[in-house]
Amino acid sequence: MGPRVVVVGLGPAGPELITPATGEVLASASRIWLRTARHPAAAGLDAPSFDEVYERADTFAEVYAEIADRLLTEAGSGGEVVYAVPGSPLVLERSVELLRRHAPERGVEVVLHPAVSFLDAVWARLAIDPVEAGVRLIDGHVFATAAAGQVGPLLVAHTHANHVLSEIKIAFDEPPESAVIMQRIGLPDEVVLEVAWEDLDRTVEADHLTSVFLPELAEPVAAEFSRLDELVRTLRDQCPWDRKQTHASLRRHLLEETHEVLEALDARAEVDDFEGDVDLDEHLAEELGDLLYQILFHARIAAERGSFTASDVARGLHDKLVSRHPHVFADGTADDVASVVANWDAIKAEEKQRTSLLDGIPSGLPGLAWVAKLRKRAGSAGVVAFAASDRRSRDRFAAVDWSTLDEDTLGELLFLLVGAAVEADLDAEAAIRVVGQRFEQRFRRMEALAGSSEALANAGAEQIADWWQGAKRQPPPA
């Protein structure tokens, strides 16, 4: 007899569900390996397991690859190796799949013995015919991609931890109202429990004998967002750079991506909103995607410490938007933009238990944007005299001695200018960015006229003035 691996299944529960044929194989085998000793039917077997591989490896892919390699190596040394897996050898057994794939190239035969699957126990508890019902079996580890486009019913296995349940929750545009959680089917402490969808990852402590049944889905899985969230998880698990990041280390990246979105928006704003520009729109979509990645990355880090997930972020935003728009979703009224803003601020103040209208304005905002928010909040309280006094004091600009300008005077003048912008319903931050961009473009044209930055730096005032005027008529450099 040549080298071979005999794969047997231990069934879904206790040893009573091990088939007689499998029992005979186990009784006569000299070399037995268990995929895991954490299975009820494995308790009576005196055999080593691969549990230490699970504890040592970073990903399940590494675990199953090592298991297959070690089994093939041991079988190749001569004789027969029995490999015992939970359930049935061909039901969601990635290690067996790898064994069968690589056995021919290693000169090893793989023999499979039929067994009772956990599926048989599940169908019995649910009292359904899976063929008649059209149930699709999904691996919870790859739910985002495997369930894309499905409308159910679905049975999701390998939901061994609550973070896996959380990832399933975020995969739907329109989630089902409820799901059935099943644990330790066939054992004395089995659980079959219908839970509300929002409680999917909060009702039980998931373990390696947990699965979820989704009887009906109103809408297909949100494939693209699910695939992206799955990619973020994969990168976090396998990329050295991603593994190293923290909330703090990602701050500058979030800020950079935010500014790149703003630049893309500025470029797009130069074209009418209803006018097509493929290049500008593609650039904006790309930058928004980069910003979305940062959001999902922070949610992934939080999920690892059991704090919140991307689904919690999405649900919290959804619920907040509904509560802040009573004129859309309840019996509130708002006939114009000012009413919408006033309602929003009032609801937010009540939610946050704020005592001042100015509470909650981030002090870390850019200076012009921060002052604009202060002015708007004050104006919402009817502080009209404040604005009127500003109008009377604007003649201060004419009296300013710019050669002796100090920081305090400059601050007051900027404060007045931002107030004027608020009254005119203009965005001071956007306005200064537009002027800054215009200056940048003109300066780059000056450098092109001068031939180099060094020539520009060494030129006299008259030459610089000529180039500055000429830059108004020149196209920007390529």
* Sole residue written with tokens 């071979």: 4
Whether the Cβ atoms of residue 39 and residue 25 lie closer than 8 Å to each other: no
DSSP string across 126-174 = HT--HHHHT-EEEEGGGHHHHTBT--S-EEEE---SHHHHHHHHTTBSS
CATH class of the 4-116 domain in this structure: alpha beta
* Sole residue written with tokens 């390529």: 478
Report which secondary-structure segment, H or E, holds 377: helix 367-380
Tens of pLDDT along the chain (478 residues) come to 689 999 999 998 888 989 999 999 999 999 999 999 988 888 888 899 999 999 998 888 899 999 999 999 999 888 899 999 999 998 889 999 999 999 999 999 999 999 999 899 899 999 989 988 889 888 888 787 777 666 678 999 989 888 888 888 877 767 788 899 999 988 888 999 999 988 888 888 998 889 999 887 655 556 677 778 888 989 999 999 999 999 999 988 998 898 889 888 877 776 655 556 677 888 889 999 999 999 999 999 998 888 888 888 888 888 888 888 888 888 788 888 878 887 877 777 677 766 676 666 776 677 777 777 777 766 666 554 455 455 555 666 767 777 787 888 778 888 888 877 877 778 887 787 777 777 777 777 777 777 777 777 787 788 878 877 877 755 544 4
Whether the Cβ atoms of residue 327 and residue 336 lie closer than 8 Å to each other: no
Q: Which amino acid is at 46?
A: D
Helical pair 428-450 and 407-423, crossing angle rounded to 10 deg: 110
- DSSP three-state, residue 383: coil
Domain covering 120-222: architecture: 2-Layer Sandwich (3.30)
What does the CA dihedral 345, 346, 351, 356 come to, rounded to 10 degrees? 80
Whether the Cβ atoms of residue 266 and residue 273 lie closer than 8 Å to each other: no
Q: Where are the domains of the chain?
A: 4-116, 120-222, 245-323, 356-426, 431-471
Taking the complete model, does pTM exceed 0.95, yes or no? no
pLDDT of residue 32: 94
Cα dist from 439 to 185, 279, 292, 317, 442, whole Å: 70, 24, 31, 39, 5
CATH number of 245-323: 1.10.287.1080
Residue (of 4, 7, 46, 11) closest to 122 by Cα position:
11
What strand order describes the sheet that includes 154-157? 136-139, 154-157, 210-214, 178-183, 191-196
